[in-house]
Chain A
Amino acid sequence: MITWRFYFEMMQHQQRFIYLSLLVVSLLFSCKPKSSVQNQAKPKIVHLTYWCASNQNEINLAQKLVEKWNRDHPKIQVTLQPIPASQSSEEVLLAAIAGKTTPDICSNMWPGAMDDFISSGGLVQLDQFPDFYEYMRQRLPNDLLETFRAPDGHYYQIPWKTNPVMMMYNKRMFRQCGVLHPPRTYSEYLQAARLVTKDRDGDGHIDQWMGYRDIRPVWWQRFFDYYCFYIAASGGKTLLNGSEIIFDNEASVRVFRFFQELYLNGFYPKTTFQGDNFLAGNLATQFCGPWNVIHVEKFKKPDFEYDIAPIPVPDDYQGPTYTYGDHKNISIFSTTRYPQAAWEFAKYLITPQSDLKLLEICSQIPLRKNLTGDPLFQDYFCKNPMLEKFAEQALFTRGVDGSSVLKEIFDGISQEYEACAVYGKRTPEEAVKNATNRAQVIMEWNQP
């Protein structure tokens, strides 16, 4: 839960130093003796190294799972190691690939960094295992599975878990302002915003808003406004299709126009806030993942009422509402000497029982069909109704495209978002055009 926020915060502060740290990391790893020496001495027992995310909940989960596995499989012994926490996982993994010191299997693979991992030859093709498709289709709807396919047509990641971004709203505030049901479309949202945004204490300054977003053009901030809205408005599209740019469309323009109207009318403030203004009761809505439920539950005042709803969509949109989901997946590294054993272990990590443990220990949503209908999970969702809404949304999520210039494309969108939505200096059409032009140049530059 904390991972996400921690990870993003770290990015914000430390991103500029990422590349500086890569070397340090690679040096660290290059000094380590290779585990394979040990393996040759005792050929009967297979040893696997498994890296999990470094936050405490996920370490606890992984410890439980590994203990059980090692008991049941004396011939395949797994050693658990959390990814070193001082950098982001992506840096550590890239450095490890460069230094050929990768583990056998890792469960903290961010799809956005896949391209780098694949092109550096660090990952094992998973569709080479004969039961791959069968096993995956039991777990996932086909269209969602397709979104994890690499540009070369193969699979390098096992979809594991997700954190869907949804709308959290202040129930009491809506009720008091005459908003009867959570807004489903843009015009309902704007209508609600008109009712909600006001000056409560009459000092001439607005002190209650519909929502708030950080106005600085930091690329990953777009996950919580433009990107999740774009995925919703386009019916589940991402920015890229292979090397083709596909966000140059009406959905993007509508999202930009929507946010422009929010800022233009003052429904979103342009200042910088300290502290959590949603919890303080100054904001009607915010867009967040399931981790925030835990945060709100922990710090809310006794009379604070909130609920979860899908991301608003354009008025004429039909069909299920998609959203952005922060996926973390499982991959097997090409340094492994026992791909089959690693595959068996990977399959074990995503069994229903393991998924239940993931929910219970980490409160994260496994990517699995019929999660809320399955009796195995029913007990859990009865106790955690908010998470059930996220679980229902989980199958209608899209991640990010696995491109090594993704960050820069998001950066370009952020610049245009700032100019168009926040400052109103550009029309939505121009803004989308500019962002796609920039992305186009970057993609052409980045061709192999």
Chain B
Amino acid sequence: MKKVIIYLLLIISGLIFSYPFLWMISATFKPEVEIGTIGLWSSNFTLRSYSAVFQKIPIGRALLNSIFVASCVTLSVILFGSIVGYALSRLRFFGRDFIFGVILFTMVIPFQITLIPMYILMVKLGWVDSYLSLIVPGMISAFGILLFRQFFRDIPQDLIDAAKIDGCTDFGILFRIIYPLSKPVIVTVGLISFMSSWNDVLWPLIVIRLQKLMTMPQMVTIFAVGGQAESQLGAQLAAATLLAIPIVLLYAFFQRYFIESMTTTGLKN
């Protein structure tokens, strides 16, 4: 009896969380007049919503932009995060603890303070309407550094000493000895930075104005808000679906990693 109630509650809430998505996908294949119905099925299957999106906005280009930007950011966060994390955990040098303190401190600075001056900095550097403004400010993340540092600290010193005796440099140790051992943390940092870069809208809205440089979430936002969709619900939903697909695919493959990564984000704060 108790089990039945539990399953019932879970199924109802499962529907609450999944039905809207199913409804959205089915709505993109319905003709405009049938969107305002509860059911998923429509006998008048049509691709018109999608063709409207592809006609009105260069969403393919936006997808490539997003992939490019998010990949650059992710690779860079992993690279620099691991290098700095390595230095902070395995090396001793003047000012190390101070720098570590600074990194911790930067994590509590709300972005509300730095948003406006960051934009002005982009203006002054001439990076408005260029990939640089999307990539460079995200290239290093304090969070990535901290996760790497945490993980590297638990790697046995013997391994490193052995490599040093073999004449390995610190970079060699990092890339040849430590990287193969660090898959979990690399995946975690990678997924988190990819997700946050991919899903960010506020910053692209501020620094990108040229349509051909827009990221996908930004373009879909402007499409929905800016009136290009001409209040065609189907087209708006189709654009939203296209925006969701890449991340959902990624999620389907790395589901376990995703949930674990996001949990670490929470727990480490």
Contacts and interface: CB of A to CB of B under 8 A. Distances in A.
A23 B128 contact: yes
Contacts of A12: 227
Interface in A141-177: none
Interface in B196-216: 205-207, 209
A24 B128 contact: yes
Given A23-B123, A24-B129, A27-B126, A13 B207 contact: no
B172 interface: no
Interface in B54-83: none
Contacts of A24: 128-129, 209
Contacts of B169: none
Contacts of A274: 230-231
A17 B222 CA distance: 11
A41 interface: no
A20 B126 contact: no
Contacts of A20: 128-129, 206-207, 209
A272 to B, nearest CB: 8
A125 interface: no
A440 interface: no
Nearest to B225: A13
A12 B227 CA distance: 9
Contacts of B137: none
Interface in B139-177: none
Contact of A13 (B205, B206, B227): B227
Interface size class of A (residues with CB under 8 A): 10 to 19
A245 B205 CA distance: 35
B226 interface: yes
A334 interface: no
A21 interface: yes
Nearest to A18: B209
Contacts of A21: 209
Contacts of A23: 123, 126, 128
B229 to A, nearest CB: 12
Contacts of B207: 20
A13 B227 CA distance: 7
Contacts of A16: 205
A20 B208 CA distance: 8
Nearest to A20: B209
Q: Among B128, B205, B226, which residue has the most Cβ atoms of chain A within 10 A?
A: B128
A17 to B, nearest CB: 5
A16 B227 CA distance: 14
A21 B209 CA distance: 7
B227 A17 contact: no
Q: Among A12, A17, A274, which residue has the most Cβ atoms of chain B within 10 A?
A: A17
A13 B226 contact: yes
B231 to A, nearest CB: 6
B8 to A, nearest CB: 40
Contacts of B206: 20
Nearest to B207: A20
Interface string A3-28: 00000000011001100110110010
A133 to B, nearest CB: 43
Nearest to A23: B123
Contacts of B230: 274
Nearest to B123: A23
A24 B123 CA distance: 9
B43 to A, nearest CB: 27
Contacts of A27: 126
A23 B121 CA distance: 12
A16 B205 CA distance: 9
A412 to B, nearest CB: 22
Nearest to B124: A23
A24 B206 CA distance: 14
Contacts of B227: 12-13
Q: Among B123, B205, B227, which residue has the most Cβ atoms of chain A within 10 A?
A: B123
Contacts of B126: 23, 27
Nearest to A274: B231
A22 to B, nearest CB: 8
Contacts of B123: 23
20 contacts: A12-B227, A13-B226, A13-B227, A16-B205, A17-B209, A20-B128, A20-B129, A20-B206, A20-B207, A20-B209, A21-B209, A23-B123, A23-B126, A23-B128, A24-B128, A24-B129, A24-B209, A27-B126, A274-B230, A274-B231
Given A20-B128, A27-B126, 6 more contacts: A12-B227, A13-B226, A20-B207, A23-B126, A23-B128, A274-B231
Interface of A: 12-13, 16-17, 20-21, 23-24, 27, 274
Those 6 A-B pairs whose CB atoms lie nearest each other, nearest first: A13-B226, A17-B209, A23-B123, A20-B209, A23-B128, A21-B209
